[in-house]
Structure 1
Amino acid sequence: MKFMKSKLAIFLLIVLTFGLLLVGCSGGDSETGSSDGNTNDDTNASEKDKESASGDEQVNIRFAWWTNPNRTEVTKAAIDLFEEKYPNIKVTAEYYSWDSYWQKMATVAAGGSLPDVMQMDGSRLKSFVEKEQLLDLGTTDIDTSGIGENTLELGKVDGKQYALTTSINAQILISNPEILEEAGVSIPEENYTWEDYADMLVKIYEETGKYGAANEMEQPAYLDYWARTKGENLYSEDGKTIGMSKETLTSWFQYWLDLQEKGGVPTAEENSAYAHNDMSASPFIAGETAFNWLFLGTGGQYETALNKPIKRLLLPEYGNDNKPYPLHAAMFWTAAANTEYPEEAAKLIDFLENDPEVSKLFENDRGIPANSENMQLVAESTDNDTVRRQNEVMAKVEEVATPLDLDPPNANGTADILKDIAQQVTFKQLTPSEAADEFTDQLNQSLSK
């Protein structure tokens, strides 16, 4: 009997010791990642319990996002706040550069091990939904009462809320007031036309010898806006063909070609040497152009690089009867369809979306807060003039904007197709009419794959 009691005591001691070792191994820093994509994924995440946690049960969820240095810092701080509020939920951070992020997501998606919570881009949202990889957030308890209906629509696919907009964004024009003053050009205070804009660009060149703006013929987002001002869209409703008429497409190519010939935008040779998506190579930052077409969220970076105040204005024809102004989602929060912890994933998304302290941490790093109360809070509490001005412009955008449709799953090739054809137009290797036919044929082929 004593022998049996001794064996039992030894057994209990072993169990207790092993349990303490497991607790020690699961502790420590839950943030594993780097901005260059060299991360050590949380190998313990796949060993989680199979049911959502209740009470004090300890769980670990994975959270992935593409990043920049500031975003890494403020997102980690937000995770700390979340873990303080929910001490039983540990968050493993996985953060990467843009390209590395999507390479990683493709790899883990193929293996069925997507992170519980993911930052998502609108250009890829439909593809993930069609592969049944995302959770319908409408089935969760996330509070969306502070988010406008137009903003909520941005994350819906087939009527289901697969994504929640982290923040909103919009296309705008920024201007260099010094060049405008030198040219004697005034920024319109009310709605203005495409012709008005072209006249300003040409006058700037005639009066100063500087270009009015870069040639944006090759930008799909801007082409889509042109189509919207004509009551059309770049893509058809089912996303399988182009949605624009030949007349509207031809007029886009002709508009920029006319500006090139009149000096409103750079020559074909200068344009081909300019990397349109590289801010460091921007002629606007070099003081060579008066206007630049971009997204509101990046305007502050251009202002800093220019090292002088800029003016922000809405795009031509923003107030016309077609309601062309698109409301963009800067990015989204999503959850994996096969997450083992849907309740905890939803709690994290709700916290990131709605907590006032998180919004003050983020400011406008991910765009203008989608939660309207937090947008106002950030504008009132920040000492960052750029953030305040961005929010003021976004308030004007929301008065006239309608939700932007998500890109079709096969739209990734559009930018390359348009860039190649636009360059041929600028060098007069294709007429605008020929370019419209060529773009239509190539885009339809790409979308039908």
Structure 2
Amino acid sequence: MHREAEPPPAVARRRFRKVRAVAAAAAVVIALSACGAGTDPKSDGGPVELRFAWWGGDKRAQLTQAVIAAFEAENPNIKIKPEFGDSGPYWDRLATQVAANDAPDIIQMDEKYITEYSSRGALLDLSKYDIDTSKFDEAALKSGTSEDGLTGLAAGINAPVMLANPEVFKAAGVELPDDSTWTWEDFARIAAEITAKSPKGTYGSAAYGGDEASLGVWLRQNGKSLYTPEHKLGFEPGDIAQWWAFLKQLREKEAVPTASEVVEAEAATLDQSGVATGTNGFAFRWSNQLPALEKAAGGDLAILRFPSKTGEAADTQLWYKTSQFWSASSRTKHPQETARFINFLANDVKAGEILLADRGVNPNSDLRAATESKLTSADSKVVKFIDQIKDELGAAPAPPPKGAGIIQEIIRRYTVEVLFNRLSPDEAGTKAVDEMKAAISS
């Protein structure tokens, strides 16, 4: 599975304002009708219809409808109505549905928004229902748990990674690094060498700054974090300024593309990204993007740990991220049936064999083992990497607080300002942190 391309900044800002405004309206609706939330009328033996919403491409739609059919075959009195589409319209539609008291029963949820919806009472506490979580990785289970209960059950896990295109390295006559020992200085040197030995327009690495993963790794390696357990930012302006200062050094060494090329790359689809088209040696990605990128590249890509400050793999401070959650509306009229379907998705081998790694590596250890032989070579590579780094992981990061959905857009916007030299790293750090604090405190 691949993570859908992020929208342009202006679109992201409009979407976020709409999501927050509608979520606030949803809070009023939920509060006014809380006395009836979660009711489960006695069934007369007739069919129950549940609505299931998710985002994703055509392949995901095919696989998910196949798993629906498998569930319905075993539960003939429960019918699942699919509602799916691209990731952009998905969040606008969901916010509107919640505000109108018309949310789907089963909701594919993202880490960016789970706190927003959970804290407003929009999601069901799944721990109160018969769902087996005994085979789930602890970090994955914790990621969907808060003071509001278990409001999201991990559908897949991944990790921040560096992807490398071996063909770019081969053409430049540069060896792939040993990712268990390399440092950030090694990365800068190798990337600059690839650029110098490659045709014009090919760079050693894509620039970072397009998402929170690379910043999260950098902060963790420096004793900080994106967020704290108290729902605050876990870093100061100087911390992110250092991250941008290093990016500027990479640009000065021509290890990464120019500012205008970075902006152009942000608008490209995943299959047109530099690591897929052979114009970047490295890329900062999530592990579950490897299969789609390999398909686009038409050949193998290498999956690597991030560099570290010390050259020790144990100091890389990677973590398992929940790629998506299975959540449920707190307003569902059929919580028992909804929980039954989520339990099927999470624990049934038939579901595991259908979905495989479409939403990331299966967080259920039994299903992961049972389906390993059915995975594609690319998915097997991801599973192997996820297992390989298990003993090197840092502490599980605190979940994003309310309002964190806009943080990625803020990071991206100020990265561009720094690359175009419109702001110094220190100036960008101060402005960005002020905006971030305002977003998560309002």
Pairwise TM-score range, normalised by the shorter structure = 0.7 to 0.9
Q: In the alignment, which of 72, 81, 89 is matched to residue 70 of structure 2?
A: 81
**What is the TM-score normalised by the length of structure 2?**
0.84
Q: Pick the aligned partner of 1:399 from 391, 398, 401.
A: 391
In the other structure, the counterpart of 2:27 is none
1:332 aligns with 2:322: no
1:138 Cα offset (Å): 0.8
1:358 maps to 351
SS of the counterpart of 2:203?
A: coil
Give the match for residue 202 of structure 1: 192
1:269 matched residue in structure 2: 260
> How many residues were matched structurally?
399
Q: Give, in angstroms, the shift of residue 327 of structure 1.
A: 1.2
Q: What is the aligned partner in structure 2 of residue 176 from structure 1? A: 165
1:213 matched to 2:205: yes
Residue type of the partner of 2:390? E
User: How far, CA to CA, are the matches of 1:208 and 1:432 in structure 2?
Assistant: 29
Could you tell me which of 88, 111, 131 is aligned with 1:142? 131
Contact persistence 2:313–2:392 (CA under 8 A): no
What secondary structure does 2:49 align onto?
Answer: strand
- Equivalent position of 1:306 in the other structure: 297
* Structure with more contact order per residue of length (Cα contacts < 8 Å, sep ≥ 6): 2
TM-score (norm 1): 0.83
Structure 1 position 185, deviation (Å) = 2.2
Alpha carbons of structure 1 residues 444 and 403: separation in structure 2 relative to 1, 3 Å? same
Q: How far apart are the structure 1 equivalents of 2:110 and 2:226?
A: 19
State how 1:1-400 maps to structure 2 within 5 Å: 51=40, 56-158=45-147, 160-181=149-170, 182-209=172-199, 210-240=202-232, 242-275=233-266, 278-317=269-308, 324-382=317-375, 384-400=376-392
Structure showing greater radius of gyration is: 1
Change (3 A) 1:421 1:141: same
Provide the rounded CA distance (Å) in 1 between the counterparts of 2:303 and 2:314: 23
1:374-403, Cα deviation, whole Å (9 max, x unpaired):
112222233x21121111111123332343
Q: Distance between the aligned counterparts of 1:422 and 1:300, measured in 2?
A: 28
Q: Quick check: 179-188 or 359-368, which moved more? A: 179-188
8 Å contact from structure 1 (residues 52, 344) kept in 2: no
Distance 1:320 1:290, change over 3 A: closer
| Structure 1, 170-179 or 434-443: larger mean CA deviation | 434-443
1:418 pairs, out of 408, 411, 415, with 411
How far off is 1:189 after superposition?
A: 4.5
Alignment identity in percent?
Answer: 27
1:172 to partner: Cα distance:
1.0
Return the alpha-carbon distance in structure 2 between the equivalents of residues 239 and 160 of structure 1: 16
Question: Structure 1 unaligned runs (5+)?
Answer: 1-49
More divergent stretch after superposition (108-117 vs 139-148): 108-117
**Paired residues of 1:183 and 1:203 also in contact (CA < 8 A):** no
The alpha carbon displacement at 1:268 in A equals: 2.2
Q: Which amino acid aligns with 2:152?
A: A
Runs of 4+ in structure 1 displaced over 4 angstroms? Answer: 52-57, 318-323
Given that 2:50 and 2:79 are in contact with CA atoms closer than 8 Å, whether structure 1 keeps it comes out as: yes
Name the aligned partner's letter for residue 385 of structure 2: V
Inter-CA distance 191–357: structure 2 relative to 1 (3 Å threshold):
farther
1:448 is aligned to 441
CA–CA distance in structure 2, aligned partners of residues 220 and 277 of structure 1: 18
CA contact (8 A) 1:185 1:204 kept: no
Q: Which deviates more, 154-163 or 275-284?
A: 275-284
Return the letter of the residue paired with 1:194.
W
In the alignment, structure 2 segments of 5+ residues that lack a partner are: 1-38
Q: Within 2, Cα distance between the matches of 1:218 and 1:79?
A: 34
Paired residues of 1:424 and 1:430 also in contact (CA < 8 A): yes
How far 1:65 sits from its partner (Å)? 1.3
- CA pair 203-345 structure 1, distance change in 2 beyond 3 A: same
- How far apart, in 2, do the equivalents of 1:324 and 1:387 lie? 23
Q: Specify whether residues 196 and 300 from structure 1 end up closer, same or farther in structure 2 by C-alpha distance, changes over 3 A only.
A: same
Q: Distance in 2 between matches of 1:380 and 1:320?
A: 28
- CA distance, structure 2, for counterparts of residue 186 and residue 58 of structure 1: 58
Closer, same or farther in 2 for the Cα pair 1:381/1:282, shift >3 Å?
closer
